[in-house]
Structure 1
């Protein structure tokens, strides 16, 4: 899996990026599986990958990084890698747990070339609970059923799974954007402004101060805004966006490492390699070789 560790890795891991995939599991199955595990779903535990919980039945409170978020039938609860969350033991909601590896986001963005993926993922950090209308909930449930069926069909083309996921992202992005535009929350609006600036300028600048100046904020104020809305610093969000774009470039055919470094504003190839390795625990050339090896030998 492509990771976004902000701490430099001491050793270089030569593992290939995780094979793409999206997992859709019934919550009942998770409750049953956890009986044999010392870890409890009802105590804070780490999130593996990006994902969301689709609530079909139930009403209670979900805990994410110490925050308490009410939910009901039709709620989508978004969680992201690095967070800690816990289910409500007094409710045991019914529904689906959807887990999406970071590499799957990258592959979908590369294959489908749609701009929704990265802004969608970053905007989820702003509002972890999305309440769907009955019609929206029914549409989401149908797509999740199709994704689960496609995932279990060994003969299906991987592109079909990515197209189904793209349709789901497009729907949820539209639902989320509409709710954010209705909500009168100045902090959320300013955070959306930062995400829009980041989407436009991530290739030209990775400095927090640059974005703060464009928003007439200080470095500290922009960090406080990002922490409040997403739980992450502005630098972490910038690096997340840049790293996703770089990994996408490395998956494309052709294009030397030096050219990619130049495109993202790295004056020195050594600095580019160091930056990439810090976030992915392998060099750009190793990442590209591992990905190409997966493509040419998918069953190994």
Structure 2
């Protein structure tokens, strides 16, 4: 299987604003913009944040192996590190906004970043949001402002994105509810970060609870309150997602992936993967080949 590269900004194009791009979706497959190192219709990993806005019609968009049906007025945020693919059978009409973490840090207030951070935390939510009014507001303002050559343009674009993302977060009632319990969210973010850093070393939820100085019972309460699952299930889901990503985006053998994920024996990984996915790793890889 051919490796799928991380997708960055087009290196051969001069950017009006460093770390920011704004595209019409239908232009992404023209000769001018079509990438040469990958197919947009095959799974590829982003190394930036993205906002997918559907202006007309209906499409099926794939994010981390799940198909999302999007229609006019829908928007989906796609986080850095996620794998996504355009559906070749769908006619995309709308916009794609992409920006780097460096752009966010430079042109958005830290308090704003903290408040919208959960939008790009794909374990909190990975669903479409219907937001036609502000979608139109953002696309119209971006088109208007990007005609300018003002030295303040990056700050203006950063402010527009901040307002839009804040409004987007308000549209999601579930996230708004979670955000009111900052202590739960703080603990969950600590837990998630530790899992991301150490999942190949341990899958024991009790170890993570100890690391953030709360009881195992309390950690389960936090996870159930934020992502509606137990701490153990969260860890398992994360490991399986990473396994899927490795199977799709690398040419590593199943044995090599097992060791990368921290399994002592490849057979243990095979049993673990099949228990959760009902397919062997090889069977899963073939479904996306």
Shared fold (TM-score, shorter chain, > 0.5)? yes
Map of 1:131 onto structure 2: 129
> For the residues of structure 1 that align with 2:140 and 2:123, how far apart are their CA atoms?
25
- SS of 2:30's partner is helix
Aligned partner of 2:160 among 158, 164, 172: 164
Q: How does 1:47-66 map to 2 (within 5 A)?
A: 47-66=46-65
The 1:211–1:39 alpha-carbon spacing in structure 2 relative to 1, beyond 3 Å, is: farther
Contact 1:51 1:97 in 2 (8 A): yes
Unaligned runs of 5+ in 2: 1-16, 198-206, 224-228, 243-289
TM-aligned CA deviation for residue 208 of structure 1:
3.7
Map of 2:20 onto structure 1: 22
- SS of 1:216's partner is helix
Contact 2:77 2:119 in 1 (8 A): no
Query: 1:206-238: per-residue Cα shift (whole Å, max 9, x none)?
Result: 9942276386236994263266489879xxxxx
The 1:199–1:98 alpha-carbon spacing in structure 2 relative to 1, beyond 3 Å, is: same
TM-score, length basis structure 2: 0.56
The 1:164–1:222 alpha-carbon spacing in structure 2 relative to 1, beyond 3 Å, is: same
> For the residues of structure 2 that align with 1:149 and 1:100, how far apart are their CA atoms?
18
TM-aligned CA deviation for residue 61 of structure 1:
1.8
Contact 2:108 2:159 in 1 (8 A): no
Map of 1:217 onto structure 2: 219
Map of 1:86 onto structure 2: 85
TM-aligned CA deviation for residue 55 of structure 1:
0.7
Q: How does 1:108-123 map to 2 (within 5 A)?
A: 108-110=107-109, 115-122=114-121
Unaligned runs of 5+ in 1: 1-18, 183-187, 234-300
> For the residues of structure 2 that align with 1:35 and 1:58, how far apart are their CA atoms?
22
> For the residues of structure 2 that align with 1:154 and 1:223, how far apart are their CA atoms?
52
TM-aligned CA deviation for residue 200 of structure 1:
9.6
TM-score, length basis structure 1: 0.54
Map of 1:73 onto structure 2: 72
Contact 2:52 2:75 in 1 (8 A): yes
Map of 1:147 onto structure 2: 142
Q: How does 1:172-211 map to 2 (within 5 A)?
A: 172-176=168-172, 178=173, 180=175, 194-197=184-187, 208-209=208-209, 210=212
- SS of 2:150's partner is coil
Contact 1:147 1:161 in 2 (8 A): yes
- SS of 1:106's partner is helix
The 1:232–1:88 alpha-carbon spacing in structure 2 relative to 1, beyond 3 Å, is: closer
> For the residues of structure 1 that align with 2:239 and 2:34, how far apart are their CA atoms?
32
Query: 1:126-154: per-residue Cα shift (whole Å, max 9, x none)?
Result: 3223231xxx3132222232124324422
> For the residues of structure 1 that align with 2:87 and 2:184, how far apart are their CA atoms?
33
Query: 1:182-226: per-residue Cα shift (whole Å, max 9, x none)?
Result: 9xxxxx99x997434357999xxx994227638623699426326
TM-aligned CA deviation for residue 175 of structure 1:
0.8
Query: 1:252-294: per-residue Cα shift (whole Å, max 9, x none)?
Result: xxxxxxxxxxxxxxxxxxxxxxxxxxxxxxxxxxxxxxxxxxx
Contact 2:43 2:85 in 1 (8 A): yes
